[in-house]
Structure 1
Amino acid sequence: MTSIPVFDGHNDFLFRVSSVSPDKREAMWLEGVGAHHLDLPRMKEANFAGGFFAIWVPSPDDGSGLDFEAQMETLPYHLNLPPMLSQADAVLTAMTQAACLRQMERVSGGDFVIVESGKQIRPLIESGKIAAIMHMEGAEAIGPELDHLQLWYDMGLRSLGPVWSRPTLFGEGVPFAFPSSPDHGAGLTDLGKRLVAECDRLGILIDLSHLNEKGFEDVAALSSQPMMATHSNAHAITPSSRNLTDRQLKIMAETDGIVGLNYGCAFLRDDGRRDENVGFDPMMRHLDHLLSIMGEDRVALGSDFDGAVIPKAIGDVMGLYDLIQAMQAHGYGTELTAKIANGNWLNFLERAM
């Protein structure tokens, strides 16, 4: 549909496909049966060239009956963080999702390839294939001794967020709160600092999305990698705890880092609501602000497909054509639009992964 391929910073399809019974997973992936934002046929048609596929372990139902989605519709809101998960609680779900990713590659007929180096990606896209990076959102499955990190690396893990929005042994995430700064809680634990060092040694990228401000500062001080937020927006436009302040963006730019625009309505809208009745204007405002600080070579896309309520104007992966058209109509031009859509991610990954 669009001549400009899109490389994406974040999706949660692995959680969605792993949530159905094993006998239904192949049909969801190859035929779209029961799928939501993503499946292989629509990705191919929409020129979705690849991205980060997140392994994410949900928190168990605590029996409280609280409707978190409803809470986010009443402003202001500040949702309590779910409690920490142990490695034992997380590892089986994480392994199942990693197995789903491998199955997706195996049954794709060669159209979907898990990559382990940034230099693999561009040739795959040029040959019409989809390139997938195994990512972990929340490092609970790694465990306190860090001995499983090497094993995950050997399985293909190349990107890791130390936290999702709940505490881990490694640090603290931001709560879902609006209006709110990302300054919640302490920095990385001693174990979290060891995790950063070990990721640097192995060549696993550190994702700053969901990490609180003090943890962000610790990563900036400790890591030798360029800083990366796969799916985060501008706090100056939408003052959500999940979004990045101008100060954070400037620090990232100094490391030649990158930010992927999150399509989640709660992180785009100026009222912090999850209401999908929103057009492309909020996305353009966030992109304009990110570009004004990060520059044209450090801003990309990070949809949060299958993990967030996204604008009705996009709908699902098929809406990427309209997003590309909206960027061009906004005045970005073909060259800048192509950088945001894929080029900036590819350049970043070729030098960092």
Structure 2
Amino acid sequence: MLPIIDGHNDTLLAATSDRAGGAFLTESDDPEGHLDLARAEEAGLAAGIFAAFVPNEGEQDDWSELPPAVDHERARRIVDEQFRTLHGWADATDRFRVIGDIDDLDACIDGEAVGAVPHVEGAGVVSPDLVNLDSLYEIGVRSLGLVWSRPNAFAHGVPFEHGATPDIGPGLTESGFDLVVACEERGILVDLAHLNAAGFWDVAETVDAPLVVSHAGAHHISPASRNLTDEQLDAVAGSGGLVGCTFGTAHLRPDGQRGVEGRSPSGSRALPDDAPLSVLLDHIEYLADRMGVEHVALGSDFDGASIPDEVGDVRGLRTVLDGLEARGFDRADREAIASRNWRRVLAAWWS
């Protein structure tokens, strides 16, 4: 069974909030959420990038508008809680470990444990003067998303808008440029998911490391502001980087529909939240055709988005690989998408 590295999940948020999920170490005949340890082992998940995320305060009614920036102190408290949870899981069992370097990752690929790469989705937890970046590294952060879909002191995100491009808003702030350089110096991967186009191009001109977008789709298929244009895909490939293909249905579907309580906005008909597996495979195939298979990986967004029913949960990673085989991706291609590409870019950043 091919080992798999998945580029993004929100399981820590699910475990520390009232969302579905949370019993990561508890085996159940009726598990909640998309991801827990038992199902990860069944799926052959070698490692995942586990995101700490600070949710918005209050309800967000219009997702085409950017939420406000998060309070820095609140972000620090929540991220600290989520990382304590992550390390607690690792302390509780030798079947799960927190990954700090490439040797840890290789051990997980070899089957010693399921591994977690600690990630922060949105740099609001980082002080604008970067004074706490080293302490974040010390508690395990090895990957950092500059933004979620809201602004902060470093960069600007994109709204969840269909029929739009990521070319929205200004580029990195002065602190943003400093943060990108500091991350590259320390070996913290900079993730460009949720970042607007101007910020994307600023990072591309600043770093020597591979460009990485942990969870996104092809704008050519689904023209969402969260997805990547052909020009961005070309830049990722040219840098030796990768795109982890999202499983989020709203960013897979060509029509971008999410559904509103099971009804269309007009109330006239039911709208499915689902997307067929074929559409997910279409995105992966398009990314491979455009960039080369060596620049394509998996970035599910488990426990953070609605995913195709045919995938279901982490065990459906095997279904995705089987679907790629049926489309003519040979074993070497599937190995690259399943784990080798993530292993390569993580090693490049961490070195």
Structure 1 residue aligned with 2:2, among 4, 8, 12?
4
The Cα shift of 1:131 comes to 1.7
Tell me if 1:168 matches 2:133. no
Tell me if 1:31 matches 2:36. no
**Residues 295-343 of structure 1: per-residue CA shift (max 9 Å, x gap):** 1211000000000000011011121221121111111122211211112
Tell me the residue number matched to 2:333. 336
Tell me the residue number matched to 2:311. 314
**Residues 35-61 of structure 1: per-residue CA shift (max 9 Å, x gap):** 300111111111111110001100100
In structure 2, relative to structure 1, the CA distance for the partners of 1:49 and 1:125 (3 Å cut) is: same
| Aligned 1:219-234 pairs, distance under 5 A | 219-234=203-218
Distance 1:220 1:137 in 2: 19
239-248 or 291-300: which moved more? 291-300
Tell me the residue number matched to 1:323. 320
The Cα shift of 1:90 comes to 1.1
**1:181 and 1:240 in contact (8 A); partners too:** yes
User: Structure 2 length as normaliser, TM-score?
Assistant: 0.91
| Aligned 1:78-97 pairs, distance under 5 A | 79-97=64-82
Tell me the residue number matched to 1:296. 293
Q: Aligned AA for 2:40? A: M
The Cα shift of 1:20 comes to 5.1
The secondary structure found in structure 1 opposite 2:105 is helix
Tell me if 1:158 matches 2:142. yes
Q: Aligned AA for 1:97? A: Q
Q: Aligned AA for 1:174? A: V
Percent identity, aligned pairs only? 39
Q: Aligned AA for 2:78? A: T
Tell me the residue number matched to 2:166. 182
Q: Aligned AA for 2:69? A: M
Q: Aligned AA for 2:66? A: L
The Cα shift of 1:226 comes to 0.9
Structure 2 residue aligned with 1:147, among 131, 140, 144?
131
| Aligned 1:185-334 pairs, distance under 5 A | 185-274=169-258, 275-334=272-331
The Cα shift of 1:9 comes to 0.3
The Cα shift of 1:258 comes to 0.7
Q: Count residues in correspondence.
A: 335
Q: Aligned AA for 1:342? A: S
The secondary structure found in structure 2 opposite 1:53 is strand
In structure 2, relative to structure 1, the CA distance for the partners of 1:86 and 1:182 (3 Å cut) is: same
Distance 2:323 2:329 in 1: 9
Distance 1:277 1:166 in 2: 26
Tell me the residue number matched to 1:74. none
Distance 1:136 1:123 in 2: 23
Tell me if 1:352 matches 2:349. yes
The secondary structure found in structure 2 opposite 1:30 is coil
Identify unmatched segments of 5+ residues in structure 1.
Answer: 69-77
Distance 1:134 1:170 in 2: 20
Distance 1:344 1:270 in 2: 27
**2:24 and 2:35 in contact (8 A); partners too:** no
The Cα shift of 1:279 comes to 1.9
User: Structure 1 length as normaliser, TM-score?
Assistant: 0.91
The secondary structure found in structure 1 opposite 2:347 is helix
Identify unmatched segments of 5+ residues in structure 2.
Answer: 259-271
Q: Aligned AA for 2:15? A: V
**Residues 151-173 of structure 1: per-residue CA shift (max 9 Å, x gap):** 00011101001110000010100
**Residues 211-259 of structure 1: per-residue CA shift (max 9 Å, x gap):** 0000001101111221100101111111000001110111111110111
**2:46 and 2:111 in contact (8 A); partners too:** no
C-alpha RMSD over aligned residues: 1.7
**1:188 and 1:215 in contact (8 A); partners too:** yes
Tell me the residue number matched to 2:16. 18
The secondary structure found in structure 2 opposite 1:235 is coil
Distance 2:281 2:218 in 1: 11
Distance 1:59 1:348 in 2: 31
Tell me the residue number matched to 1:55. 52
The Cα shift of 1:28 comes to 4.1
Runs of 4+ in structure 1 off by over 4 angstroms are none
